[in-house]
Amino acid sequence: MKNMKKLLLSLGLVLVLILTACGDDSDNADSNDDAGESTPETISEEMEYTITGIEPGAGMSGVIDDMIENEENLQGWTHQTSSTGAMLTELDQAIQNEEPIVIAAWSPHYMFAKYDIKYLEDPNELFGGEEDVLKLGRLGFEEDFPIAAEIVRNFYLEIDVIEAALLDSQEQEISVPEVVETWVVDNEDIVNEFTDGVAEGSGETIELVVTSWDSELFPAYVLKHALEGHGFTVNVTKVDPAIMFESIASGSADVTTAAWLPLTHGAFAERYEGEYIEMGPAYEKAKTGLAVPTYVELDSISDLVPNE
Ligand code: PBE
């Protein structure tokens, strides 16, 4: 009985929707809420001149703040920061309602596999193009832990591998460290490459700092596994990018795998120049930018218009 009621209700709803859609077609010839007639002006306005961002402490949040301050076409825009989770919820809701939204996006992340979204072109390279995600060590790390440092230097992952693992984590609803547990068993050959021919450690503890985005947790936990399989103990501490740099520079942490350079964490790298060593990329071809659902008729950041 209840189901029948539900069915009738949904049928009624569908009918109403069809009728509304037809009505729209015939009258309202000059309305511009038709997807086909949206202009950059109306889209920017519908977005309330707001970029839906992530954590205020993220490197890319600083990049977006600078952009709003300096770019003519973003004058009067708001950068709404909160958290990655909140941004994804807003994206999800906007897509369900087919409303325009512009978000802070990056790769690797599962958002591009889960949602039909596209990066806005970035003709002025405001986000700096492709980036390396670098391993950094504290001064003296290589001298104090030469074996561990050799494994850290050998450590490298292909970005596709990370992307696939993040998607697994999302689809199976398991945390990234848990995904790593099975990944290292299935990919022993990759893990062994990091330690092949390297002497064993003898129980030394390595302090690894990392930011808490999944794109960073995956490499960090794979490295932890490789080091722990080779005689070390690894403490992973999750911190903001600012603290990550500060703790490497002050020597309270030994190593990180999560420095996005040259741009995203460029301000931190500059502040602590000379107070850390670069140990090569953990992965390459990372990217940050602004993204919109594919139904939003904008192609480029320069299509956004000022709020005046
Ligand atoms: N991210 C993901 C981070 C680094 C990793 C791009 C959101 C940021 O600091 O912006």
Tens-of-pLDDT digits for all 308 residues of the chain? 444 444 444 544 444 444 444 434 333 434 444 445 689 889 999 999 999 999 999 999 999 999 999 999 999 999 999 999 999 999 999 999 999 999 999 999 999 999 999 999 999 999 999 999 999 999 999 999 999 999 999 999 999 999 999 999 999 999 999 999 999 999 999 999 999 999 999 999 999 999 999 999 999 999 999 999 999 999 999 999 999 999 999 999 999 999 999 999 999 999 999 999 999 999 999 999 999 999 999 999 999 999 98
Distance in angstroms (rounded) separating the CA atoms of residues 105 and 87: 10
Give the pocket of ligand 1 (CB within 6 Å): 54, 58-60, 106, 211, 213, 215-216, 241, 260, 264, 288
Check residue 37 and give its pLDDT.
66
Identify which of 60, 64, 110, 159 to mutate to test ligand 1's pocket (most ligand atoms within 8 A of the CB): 60
User: Measuring CA to CA, which residue among 295, 301, 308 is closest to residue 99?
Assistant: 295
Residue nearest to atom 5 of ligand 1 (CA): 213
- The structure tokens 């700092």 sit at 209
Report how far ligand 1's centroid is from the alpha carbon of 113 (Å): 18
Sign of CA dihedral 265, 269, 271, 275: positive
Check residue 29 and give its pLDDT.
38
Check residue 40 and give its pLDDT.
86
Distance in angstroms (rounded) separating the CA atoms of residues 166 and 275: 32
Report how far ligand 1's centroid is from the alpha carbon of 108 (Å): 10
Residue nearest to atom 2 of ligand 1 (CA): 213
Say what the pTM is. 0.87
Report how far ligand 1's centroid is from the alpha carbon of 2 (Å): 48
